[in-house]
Amino acid sequence: MIISTSDKKYFQKKSLINYNGSLYDLSIPRVMGILNVTPDSFYDGGRYSHIGTAIERVGQMLGEGADIIDVGACSTRPGAVMPDADEELSRLMPVIGEIKRLYPEAVLSVDTFRASVVSALVNKFGCIIVNDISAGGIDSEMFRTVAGLNVPYILMHMRGTPETMQNNPSYKNVTKEVVKELSVNLNKLYALGVNDVVIDPGFGFAKTIDHNYELFNHLDAFRFFEIPLLVGVSRKSMLYKFLGGTPDDALNATTVLNTLALQAGANILRVHDVKPAVEAVAVYNKLKEFAQ
């Protein structure tokens, strides 16, 4: 649901972000469908690297009820080797151009940690949501760029880089430390005038399996921020390595955690499998009707 900015009564709600001049309502949980146009992502690498299959996938996800399409051209799986900015843009530009042409009303986010990539895309295609796994830690220009372009920003927790993040991650109290580190970066964004921010605890990034479960079990701690919360656990190793198997085996476990995330207050579920997530949201919303 897009709400006109002329409707002033919505401005005080913490569950709204300004997307392309209108207020996008996140008080209703949203499903973000993942489109990886990479050859080496942990689950679907290479599956959508051709523009034809990528656009077909976008149509499928939108048809299944995806609210947001998150396009990534740089694998962030543990140990991934990063392509340079030119290669990343060469993957993103044609796909986003076709999405904008065929689905002009689609809400788009781009999974990138590079300010130059954000600038190039916004200058060419207009507003996008910036989904930055590094919380500005890889590119020091990211926060200033987002502020200058006035685009929504997803602030995710990670330590190090995808190449190094799983090198013996250590916390005394993972929830307190993640909240604290996100708070520091959130204050930097607010100081620059960036107000349309979504928080992401960063499951699977610089965290062991036990860290992930401890953090998930304290999702209510992220209500402290009073801004929308994104949860991305889709087919991740915290599920398939714990249960045994591969990412292909982790859909059921993903749906279980997505449902628990909704109960804990998640506003966005970032998923590979849109239809099961949309159904989880529908059932959750139905249950809420009888919660009073």
Catalytic residue IDs: 236, 270
- Residue 260: count of CB within 10 angstroms of its CB: 16
| CA pair distance 46, 128, nearest whole angstrom | 24
Distance of CA 73 to the CA centre of its chain: 14
- Nearest Cα neighbor of 202 from 132, 151, 273, 136 is 132
User: Beta 30-36 vs 16-19: how paired, if at all?
Assistant: unpaired
Classify burial at 224, counting beta carbons within 10 Å of its beta carbon; exposed 0-12, middle 13-18, buried 19 or more: exposed
Query: Would you say 17 and 26 are in contact if contact means Cβ atoms under 8 Å apart?
Result: yes
The Cα–Cα gap between 223 and 80 comes to: 32
